Amino acid sequence: MIAFVREVSPELARCELSLIERVPIDAARAHRQHQRYAAELRTLGCELEWLPPLPAHADGVFVEDTAVLVPELAVMTRPGVASRRGEVDSVAAALARHLPVTRLDEPASLDGGDVLRIGHRLYVGVSGRSNAAGVAQLGAALAPLGYTVRAVPLSGCLHLKSACTFIPPEVLLVNPLWVDPAAFPGTVPLAVDADEPHAANTLTVGGVTLVSSAYPRTQRRLEQAGIATHALEVDELHKAEAALTCMSLMLERA
């Protein structure tokens, strides 16, 4: 597995926010937390590929939003806020060294954080960042490779992966107030703790599910379900409306 990552911008405090109140962000602390995150990915067997720094792009560390990856193709997105579209080209250049690349075009908008892949099915959250044209263009790009793309209604959260993530082989960790678990057939839903509504965003690598240390009750639910977990401190990055999947693009080796 290759994990594409980018360092935290010193301008992180100017990040785009949609649903949470802006509070002061310590960019140096966020940088340290991100470094530990990257180190954990390496420990779990990922080969890290560092993307060029973009110090002027406050949200540049959140590389997940710039592309949708399947083993055969990289689909470069058109992020839903204009300030982030300058992040895409450097990611495209890095990905092009590994696999073919295609792009979404206007009027599409789509953030990678809205896309959840389960095998050959991709679910796209209908959010403030991803529109119907983005869903349609993604589907057209991936259909020749045998993938299906389906839109999923959301409410109350930024991205689909704010509301749910998939933990192989079958668990869907989900906040059922934000997305209907029935939209994901063949999965076994496991609800987050009611007092931790943002806890559904996890990242599973090498058989270990990474969780934010801010959500210990949900972590206990995962452990009780037989899922191996490891907690990471990323609370400074949460202030930028971010979570674990946001900070990497994961490419399976062919």
Q: Specify whether 246 is catalytic.
A: yes
For residue 40, pLDDT beyond 80 = yes
Concatenating the DSSP letter of every residue in 192-236 gives PPTT-TTTT--EEETTEEEEETT-HHHHHHHHHTT--EEEE--HH
Share of the chain above pLDDT 90, in %: 93
Give the active site residue among 159, 164, 198, 238.
159
Q: What is the pLDDT of residue 9?
A: 94
Distances, alpha carbon 17 to alpha carbons 6, 12, 235, 241, in Å = 19, 11, 16, 6
Provide the token pair at 87.
């992040």
Q: What are phi and psi of 247, to 5 degrees?
A: -95, 15
Q: What is the mean pLDDT of residues 51-77?
A: 96
Position with higher pLDDT, 6 vs 128: 6
- Catalytic option among 46, 157, 164, 246: 246
**Is residue 127 pLDDT above 90, yes or no?**
no
- Say if CB 165 and CB 184 are below 8 A apart: no
Each domain of the chain, given as residue ranges in start order, spans: 2-14+25-251
Q: What is the pTM of this model?
A: 0.94
Can you tell me the distance from the alpha carbon of 146 to that of 90, in angstroms, rounded to the nearest whole number? 28
Among the residue ranges 9-18, 68-77, 100-109, the one predicted with the least confidence is: 9-18
- pLDDT value for 212: 98
Per-residue confidence band for 90, with pLDDT thresholds at 50, 70 and 90: very high
* Mean pLDDT of the residues in the chain: 96
Mean pLDDT over 116-123 rounds to 97
Task: Enumerate residues 6+ apart whose C-beta is below 8 A from 213.
Answer: 231, 232, 233, 234, 235
What is the C-alpha to C-alpha distance for residues 108 and 131, in angstroms, rounded to an integer? 6
Confidence of residue 254 (pLDDT cuts 50, 70, 90): low
pLDDT at 187: 98
pLDDT of residue 113: 96
Known catalytic membership, residue 164: no
2-14+25-251 fold: L-arginine/glycine Amidinotransferase; Chain A (3.75.10)
Q: How far apart are CA 152 and CA 247, in angstroms?
A: 23
